[in-house]
Amino acid sequence: MREQTLIQQQSLSLGGSPLDDGEGADAGGLVTVLHAPYAEQLPVGGLSVREVRERFRDRLDIHPEAVAFVDGHPVDDDTVVNEGQRLMFMRPAGEKGGR
């Protein structure tokens, strides 16, 4: 909850969104994006899973092989997320060793 308060305060004081990366990231509705231990509500409604994965890869430490789920259902990277949905990235369990 502190993150949301801080984001709102920064938006008011800076006159813009701290999430705006110059590519219109704040144009969409809020989507809850999770990748343990991170969980944030981000303005990514209308973007594909691939776009969210690329844009927030470093911020949420999303592994390239993480599987995407929207509202608990596995989806591919071309799926578009909508406002109010939950997008979760999970690494497959039981991985061991090298290839």
- Maximum Cα–Cα distance for the chain, whole Å? 49
- Domain tally for the chain? 1
10 within domain boundaries: no
8 within domain boundaries: no
Q: What is the mean pLDDT of residues 45-67?
A: 94
Q: Name the residue range of residue 63's domain.
A: 26-90
CA–CA distances in Å: residue 1 to residues 41, 59, 77: 10, 17, 28
User: For position 81, which CATH number holds?
Assistant: 3.10.20.90
* pLDDT tens digit sequence for 9-20: 444 434 444 444
69 within domain boundaries: yes
pLDDT at position 21 over 90: no
56 within domain boundaries: yes
pTM: 0.67
6 within domain boundaries: no
